[in-house]
Structure formats: C-alpha cells, structure tokens
Structure 1
Amino acid sequence: MSATRRQGRREEKAVLRTSAFLLLAACAFQAQAKVDAVQGARLGQDLTPLGGERAGNAAGTIPAWDGGLASPPAGYTPGMHHPDPYAGDSLRFVVDRQNLSQYADQLPPGLQALVERHPDYRLRVYPTHRSAAAPQRIYDATRLNAEDGELIAGGNGVQGVAAGIPFPIPANGLEAIWNHILRYRGEQVHFVTNQAAVLANGSYNLLKLERDIYFVYGREGMTPGELENTLFFYKYQVAAPARLSGSALVVQETLDQVLSIRKAWRFNRGERRVRRLPMLAYDTLQPDTNGLATADVVDSYNGAPDRYEWQLIGKQEMLVPYNSYAVHQKGIPYKQILKASFVNPDLLRYELHRVWVVEATLRKGFSHPYAKRRFYLDEDSWQILSVDLYDKSGQLIGLQESHPISYYDVPMFGSTLETLYDFVGSRYFADGLDNNEPMYDFSASLSPRDFTPQALRREGN
C-alpha cells in the first residue's frame, strides 16, 4: 500500500473515532451559542478548570489530572533553568522506522513522515504526566468566560472574555484555535533565545534575540471592557551575530486583526531608521528566518483566523511532545541539539496525551503555502503541540512541533523549543534555544511605552 493511501486510511480512522456530538457541534457553528450554566458547572468537576477531561483513560496509560505542577520542585529558585521533575522516568518504548506501523494511529501524519524520511530519527516515549497548571485566577476567569464568551465578526474576534481560556468547552474549530491564541502565558517576560534555519547540508547560523512581551489579555484584574482590542505587545532586538546586532522589531498585537490589523515596526541598524512594516501577518515571511517561516507559524499559530475554514475533528489520544525538560537544560551546546536533518531525538520526550484535533482549510480567493493545516492541541493547556502542513495539491509538505515545559515561577505550561520541518526543501527551522542564556524573567519591568516606534528609535541610537 502506498504512503498516500496509508495516510488516507489513518485520517479516515481518526474521523470515525470522533464522537457524534463533536461533529454536530462543529457543523452548528453559525448558532454561536454560549455554554449554559449546567455545562459551565462541569469545569473543576468532571472537567479540569480549563476544560480537559479530569479522568484518565480506560487503559490507564493516561492518568487523571491532579492539578499539574502547580508549585516548583524542591531546590528550584527563579532564574534557574527549570529542573526536570521526571528525570528518573524509565523509557516506555521507542518508535522508529521499523515499528512505525504499530503506532501509526497515535502519530500525526507529519511526525510519521519525519520518521519515514530519516532512519536515524526516533521517538523516545515516556510515561504520561499531566503537568499543565495555571494560577487560580485563570481558572476563575475561565469559569466566567465559559458562560459569557462568544465569537463575533464572523469568528475574527471574541467578546465577553478576559484573562482565562475563552471557550473551555469548544463547540467548533474557531473556538478551539482561539483557546490557543488566548491561553495564559504570564503577564510580562524578558528572555534571550536563539533561532536557526538548518539547511539541507546541515549548515546554519545562530541568531540571538533579546525579547520582551507585555501581555494585556491575561493580566490580573483585566476585564473584557478594558481590553480595547489589544492582546499583547512584543519586541525583539538582535544581539548576535555582530553584523545584524542592534536591528529590532516591535509588534502591537490586536485581538480582532480584521477590525484593526497588527502594527509592526522594524529598526534596521544599517539604515539607522525605523520603518513601518506594511504587513506582518498570514503568509508574510518573517524577517531573519531565511524564508523558512511565515508570520503565522510563530507560536504554532497566531493572528487572524479569517483566511481559513476551521473544523473541530474531535479528541484523540496521540503521541506528542511533552515535558521537554531534557532539551531545555542549561549548558547543552547548540550543535548538540541541531543535527543535520532534525533536532537531536535523544533530547526530546514524547508522551501519550489527549489532544483536540482542529483542521484549517484555506478559503477560496486566498493564497498561502499551507492550504491545509491539522492542529493537535493539548487538552490540559490549549498549547498546540503538533501541526501537519499540506500544500494546495494535498501533499504533506511539513511539520511543526512545540516542545513544552512547566515554567514553575508563573506557573505556566508552554513551549521551550519550536521546530518547523520543510519536507520539500529538506531543511528545518528551530526557535527558542536558551540553554546557554539567562533564564526567562517573568517579573521584568515592562510597560506599553516600551513597545512603540519611538522607543525603538531611542534604543537604536
């Protein structure tokens, strides 16, 4: 049987496993009904506070959620690279090219393709730990959002929500993807990371970025009326290599980007001037990524959802990146992480988790390298963990993965490393390399005034 037919049968099986309720809910998007009080009361009961199933699975391979890693492990102090609380776990099994068919139903097609393409690539699968946790105020806000939140402007915006997950019991694909976009990531953070486009011959150049984010939606005390269509402010400045050092970018992220587009300015060190970028969204190529990454692949998916049709396929048990502390540890040389064709699999960890599956299909009249995307969202955090990428002919052309950890000092569960594999060009992009940099500072002193073109100009001079 051909690889294409095998892939088709796997996807067909996945659809058959989807519950009838979820399929009907996905078709009923136009109703846009809010969750009633009876459904909302399930949060914190049979559902986790963010909407996951509290119970484990029947096989016992996925445990019940017991609150996650709500407090740091012994010996941890802010400023440390986050220690691995599961370092003592024994390896359950390894998935490679030889036994791939045995686990095909639990693997995203993009991940299967990565294993099939590279005989040295393998998945190291460990016991499942449902470690995702958030502050109590985020749980409280999510409970309010469940009954008050609704999509507006054809799904391009939301109203009646703030701080927490907007749709913890999603009725359709748009609500699910908004849960990822609006998930809690702290209030502000300063961090230094490296990114690299690894070419087919294995060569790459590291780009070191000093980054700041000031979140608006998730701030303590935030109310729906105070949002003013603002999600967050973002800035980076290039720290290395020397020839690019000093170049910088500022982004003002809006909530409804069809109503008011994202604003972005770039300072070019050579020109010593700030320029407004006409567009930094959708399929616009990100600066400094060697043409590998479009604007909307940052954080697995970001920005306006209006160019795609969104379908909620349902929930499945899948092998996905999780508790990725090994690749996060201090002092690992970046050349040990970035191998010629893929990130070093010996530093990655996969676990079996329930994920929401959401499919996005490009609408007629729009263009994008990715005509279809299939997203796999963690039920406990709403972090996208994996994305299958298809072109307009239906060919599988890429894979995105997010490798998450718990940031104990917040607490928050989010990606420490993001990868994007280009199967056509036999290359990949990695972002988030922080092993030899100061650790994330979630108490950084930031304000919206730091994210203006004027601030960019002052810092560039």
Structure 2
Amino acid sequence: MKHSNRNLSKSFSLNGLATALLTMGLLTSTSAVMAAEGLGGNQLTPMGAERAASADGKIPAWDGGLKQTVGNWKDGYGNPFANEKPLFVITAKNYQQYANNMAAGQIEMLKKYPDTYTIPVYKSHRTANYPQAVYDLIKKNSQTAKLVDGGNGVEDFTQVTPFPQPKTGVELVWNHSTRYRGAGAEREVTLATPQASGNFTAVTLSEEFMFIGDPVENSLFYFLQSVTAPARLSGTVLLVQETMNQVKEPRRAWIYNAGQRRVRRAPQVAYDGPGTAADGQRTSDALDVFNGAPDRYEWKLVGKKEMYIPYNAYKLLDTNLSVDDLVKAGHINPDYTRYELHRVWQVEGTLKEGQRHIYAKRVMYFDEDTYQIAHVDHYDGRDNLWRVAEGHTVQFQDVQVPWYSAETIYDLVNGRYIVSGLINDTRGYNWDYKPQRSSFTPAALNRAGGR
C-alpha cells in the first residue's frame, strides 16, 4: 500500500482548551427526560446524542466509538471495515421503499443519473470518539453557553460544541462550526470541478488550520490556503481570520495575487461569494459543507430522523486509488462511497426578508454523534432544488477527530459538481503540525505568496 508523507500524533493539545425520534417533528417529553439524565449518563453520550440503539437495532448503541488503537496513519491503517459488503444498494428503480430515510436531494440524484448513481448502504457503526478533555469542556459548556445578538454569536463557552442538547436550529449550526478538529492541521488535498462530460483538471491545495474558538476575542479559526497546481492558478494564497460574531465584526480575509504580487483585502470571501478555484460550483460559505455567519437565514429546527448518510467513508482515502478513479461524469464513483443509517437533526434555513443569497433555502442534516453536517439540499428563489451537498464522514481515530474524507456539491441544473478534500494523489494530512498565530497574518501571507 502506498503511503503519503503523513506524521500523525496520537494525542492533541486543546490549547487550554431521546428514545429515538423516528419521524420528523418537535422534541418530545421523552427528550426532556433524557436531557435531565445529563451528558455521558445512561441515556445520552458525552456529546448529547442518544446512547441507545434504534428500536429495530439497525442503528447500534454508542459504545465509545472507534478506538485509538485500531491503526494509525503513520503506519497506514487503511479501512477498518474493508471486509464489509453492502447490505443493499439504493437505485433509481427501488428508492421508493427507502424514501422515508432519504433526503430530497438523494432522490433527485438517483432520478437524474438512473444508470450510474447508486447509494450503497452498509452496516452502521457509530465510530465518533473524542478526547476526554473535549467531553469535559462540552459538559461545562452545556451549563453556561448562550446565544447573543439574535443567534449571531455565542458567549460563555470554551472552544468546542456549545450546545450538546440543542433546542434551536441555529444552535446546531454553531455546533457544526465549533466542532472539535484538534488544535490545528496541515493538509494537501485535491479539488475537481468536472464538466458534464466528466473531463476535469485537478487543482492541488495546500491548507493550514488553527482552531481557536474564543468568544472573548471573537475568534473562531485561522485558515491559510495556497493553490499549488495547475500552473495557471498556482501562487494564489487565501488567508482567513474567522470571527465568531460576524455581525459584530465581519470575517477578515486577504488574498495574495501572484500576478500582481501583492496582498489585498477580500471581502467577497463570504456568504455567496465565489469559492477558491471552484469554477462557480461552490459558494464561499459552502466549504466545510457550511461555514461562516448564520445571520442571513432563519434557522428552524424541524426535528430528528433516521437517514442514510455518507459515513465511515474510508474507501475515499485509499491512496492506492487516484483521483481519476474517483471523479466521474455527473458524480463521484459510487463504488467507493459508503452510506449508513444514522440519527440526524434536520434544520431548515430560510433566507430572511431583505437579505441576499443565491440560496433561498438550505435544508441541513446533522449527524447526532458529531454535529457535523452530512447532507444539505440547496433551493433557489423559486423553491426549486438546485444543488445537493454531502460531507463524507470519516473518523481519524488515532487523533480522535471526525472530519470529512471528501465534500461534494452536485448541481442538478447544469450537470456539474465539485469534489474537494481528496488526498489520493497528495501528501494528505500532517497531524503533527503545530499552528502558530504568526503564520496567519497578512505579512505571512505575503511571504507565502512569494515562495
């Protein structure tokens, strides 16, 4: 097996850091009883998810998640579920019998690509696992965190997951934005935006993250992204200093332009501004499936349901595969995707009156064990389903970080899509990376662009 140059540590510094609802609707009194039991008790996991299995056993009980000792990236542990086969495959011919556990976008993808798009469903594994220090912080946050400025900010919490027992839609949005991803990470990944024919030019991105989560200084994370290939795009570098309350203080962003050899402010890197090298297929706030300020939408918590979502997608990390193996016309290759039945929170974001965005509505589904967004349906101003986004979740178990092995956004209108975060032909992740604030300044951006 080919291995990239990955050095992963087995620990991260944090830098100081109810019975299942099977149909959509409001939380029941049973949920209130479960909440009273407290996080990490017999009813709830330390993240606030339902600990028990589903009534039919298809979703297992949470037993602590995938253990750190089950392989590591330094030794190339591969896929812990490599020997499993799909329980069944959802196709354009049989989706009706599974529709209650699907999103509208999944059904529309099957209809648009009836001969090639499928959803292979595997046995469910609740692999999410975090350091005990993270669980301790989240338990503390559950007693103190509160929304401010109409939900545009959060106060009185420390770094991660302020609302492990969410009661509103915007609380779930904040849980996704503040979820634990270690102190920081460095990675080299591939992005592709195929034409409808399937032809594409791979874009290589070098990215550095530093996660802060400090409401006092109004900082959420720092992000540095350099385009290193192809040659026509290389040399462009983006720096983001993400604020938490972006109504109070907008996102700070700069771009180094290789042609002009200078750094300039980039206020367009927000909301529905164009994403880096995305060829119009992704908005700025759709990286990480969703990021940025929640202020332009009203966020309605619809309820909880059981849904087939991309999960434990280790096949997409297989470095024996190339990007060409994964990127196909219309969608990524379903031979390497994996879906499982999990409980999710459904949140509907509707554009506020007087606000502007190309998406008039976003329907989001959050995994209950991580609060990471698994699926989003995007609607246009005429309430037509336009784009379908998926986050293919994987547990980086040795560093106890759930994240994505790939992110996809499918355009149902033009037949194109974007896939990002692929590591198959790159150096992949470096979890030994030690982020420094001095690396995330306009001066550092100028130096990075000049290299």
Q: Does the pair score TM above 0.5?
A: yes
Shift of 1:448: 0.9
The CA RMSD measured in Å over matched residues stands at 2.0
Alignment partner of 1:300 is 2:297 = no
1:415 corresponding residue in structure 2: 404
Most deviating of 402-411 and 371-380: 402-411
Q: For 2:433, what is the secondary structure of its paired residue?
A: coil
Alignment partner of 1:58 is 2:55 = yes
Contact 1:22 1:171 in 2 (8 A): no
Q: TM-score, normalised by structure 1?
A: 0.89
Contact 1:79 1:440 in 2 (8 A): no
1:12 corresponding residue in structure 2: none
Q: For 1:116, what is the secondary structure of its paired residue?
A: helix
Alignment partner of 1:47 is 2:44 = yes
Name the amino acid aligned to 1:387.
V
Alignment partner of 1:324 is 2:313 = yes
Q: Separation in 2 of the partners of 1:188 and 1:16?
A: 36
Contact 1:82 1:325 in 2 (8 A): no
- 1:266-415 alignment to 2 at 5 Å? 266-415=255-404
CA distance 1:378–1:53, change in 2 (3 Å):
same
Q: Separation in 2 of the partners of 1:198 and 1:81?
A: 30
Shift of 1:19: 4.4
- 1:65-76 alignment to 2 at 5 Å? 65-73=62-70, 76=71
1:29 corresponding residue in structure 2: none
2:126 corresponding residue in structure 1: 130
Shift of 1:46: 0.7
Q: Separation in 1 of the partners of 2:265 and 2:256?
A: 9
Q: Separation in 1 of the partners of 2:163 and 2:272?
A: 27
Q: TM-score, normalised by structure 2?
A: 0.91
- 1:83-122 alignment to 2 at 5 Å? 83-119=78-114, 120-122=116-118
Q: Separation in 1 of the partners of 2:419 and 2:92?
A: 23
For residue 18 of structure 1, the aligned residue among 24, 28, 35 is: 24
Name the amino acid aligned to 2:151.
G
Q: Separation in 2 of the partners of 1:284 and 1:420?
A: 16
Name the amino acid aligned to 1:289.
A
For residue 434 of structure 1, the aligned residue among 406, 415, 423 is: 423
Q: Separation in 2 of the partners of 1:16 and 1:163?
A: 32
Q: Separation in 1 of the partners of 2:273 and 2:187?
A: 25
Q: For 1:166, what is the secondary structure of its paired residue?
A: coil
CA distance 1:38–1:445, change in 2 (3 Å):
closer
Q: For 2:344, what is the secondary structure of its paired residue?
A: strand
* Runs of 5+ unmatched residues, structure 2: 1-20
Q: Separation in 2 of the partners of 1:82 and 1:423?
A: 36
Encode CA deviations 1:145-164: one digit per residue, 9 max, x unaligned. 11101100110000111133
Shift of 1:205: 1.2
Percent identical among aligned pairs is 41
Shift of 1:425: 1.1
Q: For 1:306, what is the secondary structure of its paired residue?
A: coil
Encode CA deviations 1:44-74: one digit per residue, 9 max, x unaligned. 431010010000011010100000013131x
CA distance 1:133–1:343, change in 2 (3 Å):
same
CA distance 1:190–1:172, change in 2 (3 Å):
same
Q: Separation in 2 of the partners of 1:340 and 1:235?
A: 30
Shift of 1:371: 0.5
For residue 262 of structure 1, the aligned residue among 251, 262, 271 is: 251
Contact 1:254 1:260 in 2 (8 A): yes
Contact 2:350 2:361 in 1 (8 A): yes
CA distance 1:131–1:270, change in 2 (3 Å):
same
Q: Separation in 1 of the partners of 2:267 and 2:173?
A: 25
